[in-house]
Amino acid sequence: MVSKMLKEVEMIASFDTEGTLRPHRLRLVSEDESLVVIKVVGILYEDINIAYKTIRYRCECVIQNKVRTVDLYYYIEKMMWYLDL
């Protein structure tokens, strides 16, 4: 996994009846220490990396009233979410 910088985020996600994990909304602390809420409006694709035990989601999110493409990572063993900046 190649990344410039992964930032830990809080995530609201759900599982469907087949056990598929879906991110919905994330929250992070900005540089000025305020909380920023970002809504996931679409999942373009997901990729499972067995070596790193992660699921990467390429998503469209609303950031500052603009739709942007971001990568979200779910670390299965740690049960933690990260945003690739």
**Could you tell me the residue ranges of all domains in the chain?**
6-84
Confidence at residue 16, expressed as pLDDT on a 0 to 100 scale: 95
Report the SS3 class of residue 31: coil
Confidence at residue 3, expressed as pLDDT on a 0 to 100 scale: 52
- State the average pLDDT for the chain: 93
Q: Tens of pLDDT along 2-28?
A: 556 899 999 999 999 999 999 999 999
Burial of 40 per CB tally in 10 Å (0-12, 13-18, 19+): buried
The span from the CA of 84 to the CA of 7, in Å, is 6
Per-residue pLDDT at 70 exceeds 60: yes
The span from the CA of 75 to the CA of 11, in Å, is 12
Confidence at residue 30, expressed as pLDDT on a 0 to 100 scale: 87
| Predicted TM-score (pTM) of this structure | 0.89
| Mean pLDDT (whole number) for 30-58 | 96
